[in-house]
Structure 1
Amino acid sequence: MISLLKRSNSLEIRECLFAIIGIVLLGLSFSYFEAFEYLYNFSRSHENWELDEIIIILLMSPIFLVWLVIKRWTQSVREMNLRLKREHQLAQQSTHDALTGLPNRVLLEDRLNIAQSSTSRVDSQISLMVIDLDDFKLINDELGTSIGNRILCVLADRFRAVIKTQDTIARLSGDEFAAVLWDSSLEDSSLSIAQRLLDCCSEPILMDGFHINVTASIGITFYPLDPKNALAADQLIRQADQALYQAKITGKNCYSIYDTENARQLSELHSYRKRIELAVDRHELHLHYQPQINMTTGLLVGAEALVRWQHPERGLLGPNQFLHVVEDHSLSIKLGEWVIENALSQIHHWSKAGHQIKVSVNISALHIQQGNFVERLQSFLNQFPDVAANKLQLEITETGSLEDLNGVAATIGECLTLGVGFALDDFGTGYSSLTYLQSLPSQLIKIDRSFVRDMLDDPNDLRMVKGIISLARTFDLPVIAEGVESYAQQEKLLELGCELAQGFIYSKALSANDFESWLSTWNHTPRVQRLGKKKDNKGGASFTPLLSSPERLC
């Protein structure tokens, strides 16, 4: 009897287990095929009590309970995986560059801090390199940002191959990268890696049928330079940036190592630029105007606007005392726009007073290569609608670095369409005179004063002046000589075929008010006396300066 009971109990247990397993399997099947959703949705769309009753019974069954548990569990697992994935993506985005996948500035500074800390525990040294691609903006402008981005990815892969596993290569922004090298106790090792980075940049990149050549400049600093002087990560990056700037002005496609003396000079340069920018905002800058004369007729043909700085402590400063500081710097754009706007304002003032004077202004190579140059020029012309555009002439120095000649030629062409003139200044002093003359649609050539000053004594200078005048005649362009200071120079220039001149023989650069006074005097002076053609007692020609205190132009 007992054995029968035991056998009956075991059968019941086995049947219960099979029932439970069956319910679970059925629940899994229902879950897989989403049967309960279909039943529920079907019941909601059919108003039939019997059907709803059946659905309710099914929903209350153990199968539904199993299905519900499984569904809730799978949903929670799916949501957790999705949340973890999103958290990982956010963490990746916050510490890595989206385009190249390299660490970004945040992660770089974090790893730089760790590397700096390690040097205090172990007698070692780290190096930081800031890598900037040279003139990468031109690639983006000419080939498009899509190709530019692909080039950045190619270079990022090349950098990864050069940098060791324990080191870090990061993308700071745009076309700027940085590398942190651990255990750089041997300077030669770091410099070798820097050269390899330059080499891998300069290897041609074949993309969409184009062979693209890219170069880079690298600024390098080491830590610690002074064990007593701890630096934060951003300070170390600033040091590398200063070294990078030195590499840029050295000629690009090279590396430069940070040193304290260069840093001091760069700091002073930065401070001086800030002071000049402040001078613009405080209206401490003024334009002075030097007359330009036709030596044959004695008539005024125009004036050149020259910047002067009325410094509160140092007095009146000429352009050679501060303009070199802003050359090839973005501040030259702000200063150039200030000059154009103020020159147009003065032309407007003179025009109302009955003086129709053409004014020439100097612009930097960096300024004219800005993509919005013509648009900005048009906006300034619109401010003075009564000023004819041909009363403004732009002068670009021949020593300026024009990296995109075709682009500059197109910009000048648009300026000429507006009516604004264009002249090549300091012609003959650089290495690209013929290239500029052939490529740029200039309307006037200016002979630099360095040739005019000694042409009567130095045969080489005289040959240069003759050659420039002959070249201008070949291109059918007028030519004007700067720095004419004697009657003998004037006569020699006329003999060579140059009719236009400016210089101390006529007047130094004057403030706007003094220029008007000079103009009144000049217009009431007989032509022969204006040009100094007065006979002396011996029957020769002599010259009496119109100004009592000779002073060389800045």
Structure 2
Amino acid sequence: MTTSPPDSLTAATCAAGRPSSRLPWPLLTGLALVLLALWLLPLEGVKRSHGLFPLALHTVSEIFAVIVAMLVFAVAWNAYARERAGNILILACAFLGVGLLDFGHALSYQGMPDLVTPASPGKAIDFWLTARLLAALALLTAALRPWTPLRRSESRYRLLAGVLAATGAVFVLQLYWPEVWPLTFVPGQGLTPFKVGTEFGIIAILALAAWRFHRLHRAKAPCDAANLFAACLIGILSELCFTLYTNVHDLFSLVGHLYKIVAYLFIYRAIFVASVREPYRRLEVAIAERQAAENRVEYLAYHDALTGLPNRMLLQDRLEQAMVWAGRSGTKLALLFLDLDNFKAINDSLGHAASDDLLKTLAANLKASLRNTDTISRQSGDEFVMVLSGLDNREDCTPLLAQIMEGIQAPIHLGDTEIALSASIGIALYPDDGQTFDALLQKAETAMYTAKEAGRNAYRFFDESMSTEAVANLALRNGLRRALEQKQFVLHYQPQIDLASGAVIGVEALIRWQHPDLGLLAPGRFIAVAEDSGLIVPMGEWVIEEACRQGARWRRAGLPPLVVAVNLSAIQFRRGNVEQTVMRALEASGLPPEWLELELTESILLQGTDSVFAIVRELKRHGVKFSIDDFGTGYSSLSYLKRFAVDKLKIDQSFVRDLAPDSDDAAIIRAIVQMAHSLGLRTIAEGVETEDTLELLRHFGCDEAQGYHFARPMPAEAINAYLAKNHPPLAMSA
């Protein structure tokens, strides 16, 4: 048995969307045996009686058949969707014609009032044969045609008009020029050879359609081939009855009409499943898939994707709860910052996949070495942070630290390779060394670097003698003040690429410090100090103003429109006048608001104040775009996406740089893209460095990308040359 649809029949294009039900063999066999028994029954007088199928019963049966045929049309026509197979509409429109012809047949039956011309068996048979032929041809067409959508939406109206025109022509010819119809019935003799031959021709058409539907059913085609197959076979039994009757009121005429109604009901069932039931089922499956994606992203917002450990956000939450408990109980807690020794060399020798397995095993060992009341978190790379609670004094940490060091040094086997690890650990105590998460983390990290300088594979508690770094930060802070006064900052720009067209559609503005002694400094060297000192506010205002000026210069120079993306910090929202700064920069530069994009950091979202939302709403009202930076690394609540009404999610480079088809990073990116698209948002991936990564992002449906694979951040004057070299004007769009 084949397992895939034949020809061009696929799950994406078939109407029903799932394999059809079982073939109703017991019913089909029973109907066939009934007909065979009636044919062999030696009671000709009973079978040929003129009273078995009176006019009233015939009229009722035909009205019921007409109603079913009209329901077939009404359900399929009103449930029409462009993406569904056109075969359903072919059947629907054809059965509208069949219903009209059956109505003409009922009105032309012997004993009915005149319909233009007197009612007669021949007149009724002519309507009958055309209805049966139209139904059989429609079933054959639906069986043989690839189950693909109609090419154009107006095609269904043309199909309907064609069926109505053909049906109208039959009525006109029969009612006004009946002599053009071949003789089908002779009173006293019965059916003519033409009538019987036509019935057998219809039987042959139905048999071919039944064979095709049976093949589709065996191929597990995701359409309701079973019900359509049954309709064809029952239609054949009905037609056989109409080759056997000698008068229009005998037993075979009655059974034939009943079989016809049953065949219609199977067709209605197939149409209903394809047009109504299955779309709802597919919708339910899509409402479920979206919920699963949102749940996955929600989970990843609080957990490390590689190890499953709490991430920074969840760690901070648990630390704050532990500090509250410590304050009430009069105890202490310790924050441990752990960094593996020489992990880069291990990573380079083993490769990323093996290193990931190593980190997962280490995470399990570390978790096993802690108490149930303690928390371990992976921050990034080979850095782990732990919270030890319920301590009476500093010495209580010693046995726990011994267990942790033992867990780190336990040999880890990767295949045939045994890896021995060591780590440097820094410890800060609450409330002695700090009373906030950031303060404790900073001091624990300082102590960790002291442990590394002491020879590694050791731990150190923080003390004030380690504050020499604070002196260096003070010098950096004073240098930042001079840099603002002496205009030592410059902006570099990294191109952002539309993955569908390959065009440069924007640039991200990245600040650099042209230090008089240290040279060009990346933001990682000074942004933290700038935020801590509050200098980030005037620095951020300068970045917005300069980015807008440069964007306007490019427009005046005739370059294609480029969206300029600028990062905003949480401190700018708390201390600065962001709305006025942005609007003033746009007005002074002449840059249209829609060509400025502000990247919001996670900490801005976490503030969640009404004033922050008001600023975002007002700037969006003017046309400024917004994106969420570093999405996926610790976002607290998906509800903020809707409330902030952002335009784009920026996938953090930590998920992109080591992207592989079967990695957790791939699952994260796929979930983020799916969720973003379901919310009407675009996605951009940063840190794209290889063609393989780029192809995977395209496969996942990511919209935009930036990274060294395309270009490094460059001065403004280099953008012109980059565009001219890599993206000629004809290849770019706004």
TM-score (norm 1): 0.48
Higher relative contact order by CA 8 Å / sep ≥ 6: 1 or 2?
2
TM-score (norm 2): 0.36
